[in-house]
Protein backbone atom coordinates (compact mmCIF):
# COMPACT_ATOMS: atom_id res chain seq x y z
CA UNK A 1 0.00 0.00 0.00
CA UNK A 2 1.05 3.66 0.12
CA UNK A 3 4.15 4.56 2.10
CA UNK A 4 7.06 6.95 2.46
CA UNK A 5 7.22 10.60 1.46
CA UNK A 6 4.12 11.61 -0.46
CA UNK A 7 3.74 15.25 -1.49
CA UNK A 8 0.57 17.29 -1.02
CA UNK A 9 1.05 19.03 -4.35
CA UNK A 10 0.65 22.76 -4.78
CA UNK A 11 -1.24 23.93 -7.86
CA UNK A 12 1.07 26.41 -9.65
CA UNK A 13 -0.73 29.44 -11.07
CA UNK A 14 -0.07 32.43 -13.29
CA UNK A 15 -0.28 35.94 -11.84
CA UNK A 16 -3.86 36.21 -13.09
CA UNK A 17 -4.88 33.04 -11.24
CA UNK A 18 -5.02 30.64 -14.19
CA UNK A 19 -3.50 27.22 -13.54
CA UNK A 20 0.05 27.06 -14.91
CA UNK A 21 -0.06 23.62 -16.51
CA UNK A 22 3.54 23.59 -17.83
CA UNK A 23 4.83 24.54 -14.36
CA UNK A 24 2.72 21.79 -12.79
CA UNK A 25 4.09 19.23 -15.24
CA UNK A 26 7.70 20.30 -14.57
CA UNK A 27 7.02 20.25 -10.84
CA UNK A 28 5.69 16.69 -10.95
CA UNK A 29 8.70 15.50 -12.96
CA UNK A 30 11.02 17.16 -10.45
CA UNK A 31 9.22 15.53 -7.54
CA UNK A 32 9.63 12.08 -9.06
CA UNK A 33 13.28 12.72 -9.92
CA UNK A 34 13.93 13.81 -6.32
CA UNK A 35 12.58 10.54 -4.92
CA UNK A 36 9.04 11.41 -3.82
CA UNK A 37 7.08 8.19 -3.21
CA UNK A 38 3.63 9.47 -4.20
CA UNK A 39 1.67 12.46 -5.50
CA UNK A 40 -1.43 13.90 -3.84
CA UNK A 41 -3.02 16.58 -6.06
CA UNK A 42 -5.98 18.85 -5.29
CA UNK A 43 -5.93 18.60 -1.54
CA UNK A 44 -5.83 21.59 0.80
CA UNK A 45 -2.32 22.47 -0.36
CA UNK A 46 -3.53 22.27 -3.96
CA UNK A 47 -6.17 24.92 -3.20
CA UNK A 48 -9.07 22.59 -3.90
CA UNK A 49 -11.57 24.90 -2.13
CA UNK A 50 -11.10 27.58 -4.82
CA UNK A 51 -10.72 25.39 -7.91
CA UNK A 52 -13.72 24.87 -10.13
CA UNK A 53 -14.82 21.28 -10.73
CA UNK A 54 -13.35 21.47 -14.21
CA UNK A 55 -10.00 22.74 -12.90
CA UNK A 56 -9.98 20.11 -10.15
CA UNK A 57 -10.49 17.32 -12.67
CA UNK A 58 -7.91 18.79 -15.04
CA UNK A 59 -5.22 18.83 -12.34
CA UNK A 60 -5.94 15.18 -11.51
CA UNK A 61 -5.77 14.24 -15.19
CA UNK A 62 -2.46 16.06 -15.67
CA UNK A 63 -0.93 14.50 -12.57
CA UNK A 64 -1.91 10.98 -13.62
CA UNK A 65 -0.66 11.56 -17.16
CA UNK A 66 2.72 12.94 -16.11
CA UNK A 67 3.25 10.36 -13.35
CA UNK A 68 2.77 7.47 -15.82
CA UNK A 69 2.47 4.99 -12.95
CA UNK A 70 6.05 5.67 -11.82
CA UNK A 71 4.64 6.62 -8.43
CA UNK A 72 1.07 6.35 -7.13
CA UNK A 73 -1.36 9.24 -7.44
CA UNK A 74 -3.88 9.72 -4.63
CA UNK A 75 -6.31 12.32 -5.92
CA UNK A 76 -8.17 14.66 -3.62
CA UNK A 77 -11.89 13.89 -3.87
CA UNK A 78 -13.36 15.42 -0.75
CA UNK A 79 -16.50 17.49 -0.36
CA UNK A 80 -19.04 18.26 2.32
CA UNK A 81 -21.68 17.09 -0.17
CA UNK A 82 -21.55 13.30 -0.45
CA UNK A 83 -22.85 13.22 -4.03
CA UNK A 84 -20.14 15.68 -5.11
CA UNK A 85 -17.43 13.59 -3.45
CA UNK A 86 -18.76 10.49 -5.21
CA UNK A 87 -18.50 12.30 -8.55
CA UNK A 88 -14.92 13.44 -7.92
CA UNK A 89 -13.90 9.97 -6.74
CA UNK A 90 -15.42 8.32 -9.81
CA UNK A 91 -13.63 10.77 -12.07
CA UNK A 92 -10.29 10.08 -10.34
CA UNK A 93 -10.75 6.36 -10.87
CA UNK A 94 -11.79 6.84 -14.50
CA UNK A 95 -8.64 8.78 -15.39
CA UNK A 96 -6.29 6.33 -13.70
CA UNK A 97 -5.64 7.59 -10.17
CA UNK A 98 -4.37 4.92 -7.78
CA UNK A 99 -6.49 6.11 -4.87
CA UNK A 100 -8.53 9.00 -3.52
CA UNK A 101 -8.13 11.21 -0.47
CA UNK A 102 -11.46 12.19 1.07
CA UNK A 103 -11.60 14.83 3.80
CA UNK A 104 -14.14 14.66 6.61
CA UNK A 105 -17.15 16.84 5.68
CA UNK A 106 -16.53 20.43 6.76
CA UNK A 107 -19.21 22.92 7.89
CA UNK A 108 -22.07 20.39 7.98
CA UNK A 109 -20.82 18.88 11.27
CA UNK A 110 -22.10 15.33 10.73
CA UNK A 111 -22.28 12.88 13.63
CA UNK A 112 -20.01 9.85 13.73
CA UNK A 113 -22.87 7.85 12.20
CA UNK A 114 -23.06 10.45 9.44
CA UNK A 115 -19.35 9.96 8.76
CA UNK A 116 -19.85 6.22 8.39
CA UNK A 117 -22.68 6.78 5.91
CA UNK A 118 -20.70 9.42 3.97
CA UNK A 119 -17.56 7.34 3.53
CA UNK A 120 -19.44 4.14 2.85
CA UNK A 121 -21.37 5.82 0.03
CA UNK A 122 -18.16 7.06 -1.59
CA UNK A 123 -16.29 3.78 -1.14
CA UNK A 124 -19.23 1.81 -2.55
CA UNK A 125 -19.08 3.93 -5.72
CA UNK A 126 -15.43 3.17 -6.63
CA UNK A 127 -12.99 0.27 -6.87
CA UNK A 128 -9.76 1.99 -5.86
CA UNK A 129 -8.43 2.62 -2.34
CA UNK A 130 -9.94 5.46 -0.33
CA UNK A 131 -7.83 7.27 2.26
CA UNK A 132 -9.77 9.08 4.99
CA UNK A 133 -8.44 12.59 5.65
CA UNK A 134 -8.95 13.50 9.28
CA UNK A 135 -8.06 17.16 9.91
CA UNK A 136 -10.16 18.64 12.73
CA UNK A 137 -8.36 21.98 12.60
CA UNK A 138 -9.89 22.70 9.18
CA UNK A 139 -13.07 20.63 9.09
CA UNK A 140 -14.10 20.89 12.79
CA UNK A 141 -15.17 17.23 12.76
CA UNK A 142 -12.81 14.70 14.34
CA UNK A 143 -13.37 11.11 13.26
CA UNK A 144 -13.03 8.86 16.28
CA UNK A 145 -10.85 5.76 16.25
CA UNK A 146 -13.98 3.67 16.84
CA UNK A 147 -15.61 5.13 13.73
CA UNK A 148 -12.47 4.52 11.71
CA UNK A 149 -12.47 0.91 12.87
CA UNK A 150 -15.99 0.48 11.49
CA UNK A 151 -14.94 1.92 8.13
CA UNK A 152 -11.73 -0.15 7.98
CA UNK A 153 -13.84 -3.22 7.28
CA UNK A 154 -14.90 -1.79 3.90
CA UNK A 155 -12.99 -3.40 1.03
CA UNK A 156 -12.07 -0.02 -0.49
CA UNK A 157 -11.26 2.00 2.65
CA UNK A 158 -7.54 1.49 2.97
CA UNK A 159 -6.20 4.02 5.45
CA UNK A 160 -6.06 7.50 6.92
CA UNK A 161 -4.20 10.74 6.50
CA UNK A 162 -4.00 11.79 10.14
CA UNK A 163 -3.49 15.53 10.62
CA UNK A 164 -4.38 15.59 14.32
CA UNK A 165 -0.71 15.64 15.48
CA UNK A 166 -1.92 13.32 18.26
CA UNK A 167 0.74 10.63 18.50
CA UNK A 168 -1.48 8.28 20.47
CA UNK A 169 -3.78 8.01 17.44
CA UNK A 170 -1.61 5.69 15.33
CA UNK A 171 -1.20 3.36 18.31
CA UNK A 172 -4.95 3.09 18.87
CA UNK A 173 -5.65 2.95 15.13
CA UNK A 174 -3.30 -0.01 14.71
CA UNK A 175 -4.94 -1.75 17.66
CA UNK A 176 -8.47 -1.31 16.28
CA UNK A 177 -7.99 -1.23 12.49
CA UNK A 178 -5.08 -3.63 12.13
CA UNK A 179 -1.46 -3.30 11.09
CA UNK A 180 -2.36 -3.34 7.38
CA UNK A 181 -4.54 -0.21 7.65
CA UNK A 182 -2.42 2.45 5.93
CA UNK A 183 -1.56 5.33 8.27
CA UNK A 184 -0.11 8.48 6.73
CA UNK A 185 0.83 11.50 8.79
CA UNK A 186 -0.56 14.82 7.66
CA UNK A 187 1.71 16.87 9.91
CA UNK A 188 5.33 17.45 8.93
CA UNK A 189 6.72 18.28 12.35
CA UNK A 190 5.70 14.92 13.81
CA UNK A 191 6.18 12.77 10.71
CA UNK A 192 9.11 10.79 12.09
CA UNK A 193 7.49 10.31 15.49
CA UNK A 194 4.37 9.12 13.65
CA UNK A 195 6.42 6.44 11.91
CA UNK A 196 7.77 5.34 15.28
CA UNK A 197 4.19 5.04 16.55
CA UNK A 198 3.19 2.72 13.72
CA UNK A 199 2.69 5.00 10.71
CA UNK A 200 3.62 4.13 7.16
CA UNK A 201 4.43 7.52 5.67
CA UNK A 202 3.56 11.20 5.41
CA UNK A 203 1.54 13.33 3.00
CA UNK A 204 3.82 16.30 3.29
CA UNK A 205 3.66 20.03 2.59
CA UNK A 206 7.40 20.48 3.11
CA UNK A 207 8.08 17.87 0.41
CA UNK A 208 6.95 20.48 -2.13
CA UNK A 209 10.21 22.32 -1.46
CA UNK A 210 12.58 19.70 -0.01
CA UNK A 211 11.45 16.48 -1.71
CA UNK A 212 14.86 14.80 -1.68
CA UNK A 213 15.43 15.36 2.03
CA UNK A 214 11.90 14.25 2.91
CA UNK A 215 12.33 11.09 0.85
CA UNK A 216 15.74 10.39 2.34
CA UNK A 217 14.32 10.67 5.86
CA UNK A 218 11.77 7.96 5.11
CA UNK A 219 14.37 5.82 3.37
CA UNK A 220 16.65 6.08 6.39
CA UNK A 221 13.82 5.03 8.68
CA UNK A 222 12.92 2.02 6.51
CA UNK A 223 16.49 0.72 6.52
CA UNK A 224 16.76 1.10 10.30
CA UNK A 225 18.96 4.19 10.35
CA UNK A 226 17.10 5.95 13.12
CA UNK A 227 19.91 8.41 13.86
CA UNK A 228 20.12 9.38 10.20
CA UNK A 229 16.37 9.92 9.98
CA UNK A 230 16.43 12.04 13.14
CA UNK A 231 19.27 14.15 11.76
CA UNK A 232 17.26 14.93 8.62
CA UNK A 233 14.14 15.76 10.64
CA UNK A 234 16.19 18.16 12.77
CA UNK A 235 17.64 19.75 9.64
CA UNK A 236 14.12 20.31 8.26
CA UNK A 237 12.72 21.89 11.43
CA UNK A 238 13.17 25.54 10.45
CA UNK A 239 11.66 24.85 7.03
CA UNK A 240 8.66 23.11 8.63
CA UNK A 241 8.19 26.19 10.82
CA UNK A 242 8.37 28.55 7.85
CA UNK A 243 5.88 26.44 5.87
CA UNK A 244 3.20 27.10 8.47
CA UNK A 245 4.20 30.59 9.62
CA UNK A 246 1.20 31.82 7.64
CA UNK A 247 -1.68 29.85 6.14
CA UNK A 248 -0.75 26.93 3.90
CA UNK A 249 -0.20 26.91 0.92
CA UNK A 250 0.94 30.54 0.67
CA UNK A 251 4.43 29.87 2.12
CA UNK A 252 4.90 26.75 0.00
CA UNK A 253 3.89 28.55 -3.19
CA UNK A 254 6.23 31.44 -2.43
CA UNK A 255 9.11 29.01 -1.92
CA UNK A 256 8.19 27.10 -5.08
CA UNK A 257 8.18 30.35 -7.03
CA UNK A 258 11.73 31.01 -5.83
CA UNK A 259 12.67 27.60 -7.21
CA UNK A 260 11.11 28.45 -10.59
CA UNK A 261 7.80 26.60 -10.39
CA UNK A 262 5.12 29.13 -11.23
CA UNK A 263 4.28 32.28 -9.34
CA UNK A 264 3.46 32.64 -5.66
CA UNK A 265 -0.17 33.46 -6.51
CA UNK A 266 -2.85 31.98 -4.25
CA UNK A 267 -6.51 32.57 -4.90
CA UNK A 268 -8.49 34.71 -2.52
CA UNK A 269 -9.30 34.62 0.33
CA UNK A 270 -5.65 33.64 0.89
CA UNK A 271 -3.51 36.77 1.07
CA UNK A 272 0.03 37.19 -0.26
CA UNK A 273 2.74 36.51 2.28
CA UNK A 274 3.85 39.32 4.54
CA UNK A 275 7.42 40.54 4.27
CA UNK A 276 8.18 38.85 7.60
CA UNK A 277 7.02 35.51 6.24
CA UNK A 278 9.03 35.96 3.04
CA UNK A 279 12.18 36.70 5.00
CA UNK A 280 11.58 33.73 7.25
CA UNK A 281 11.16 31.42 4.27
CA UNK A 282 14.34 32.65 2.62
CA UNK A 283 16.24 32.10 5.89
CA UNK A 284 14.75 28.62 6.24
CA UNK A 285 15.73 27.63 2.71
CA UNK A 286 19.27 28.78 3.40
CA UNK A 287 19.39 26.90 6.70
CA UNK A 288 18.40 23.65 4.99
CA UNK A 289 20.91 24.23 2.20
CA UNK A 290 18.44 24.69 -0.66
CA UNK A 291 20.07 26.80 -3.37
CA UNK A 292 17.95 29.24 -5.34
CA UNK A 293 18.37 30.02 -9.02
CA UNK A 294 20.72 32.95 -9.60
CA UNK A 295 17.96 35.24 -10.87
CA UNK A 296 16.30 35.33 -7.43
Question: What are the catalytic residues?
Answer: 133, 161
Residues 6+ apart with CB under 8 A from 191: 185, 199, 202, 204, 217, 233
Cα–Cα distance between 180 and 111 in angstroms, integer? Answer: 26
Contacts of 172 (CB under 8 A, 6+ apart): 145
289 CB-near residues (< 8 Å, 6+ apart): 235
Q: Decide: residue 166, CB within 10 A, 0-12 exposed, 13-18 middle, 19+ buried.
A: middle
CB 159 within 8 A of CB 6: no
DSSP helix/strand/coil, 55? helix
Amino acid sequence: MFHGSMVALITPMHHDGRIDEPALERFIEWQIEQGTDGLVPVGTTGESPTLSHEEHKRVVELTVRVARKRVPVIAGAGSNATAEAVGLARHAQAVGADGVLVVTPYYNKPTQDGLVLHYTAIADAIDIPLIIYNIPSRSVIDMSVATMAKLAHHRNIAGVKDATANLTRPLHTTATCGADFCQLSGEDHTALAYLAAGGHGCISVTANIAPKLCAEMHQAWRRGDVAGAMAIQARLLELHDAMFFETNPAPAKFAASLLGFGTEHCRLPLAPLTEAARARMRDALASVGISLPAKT
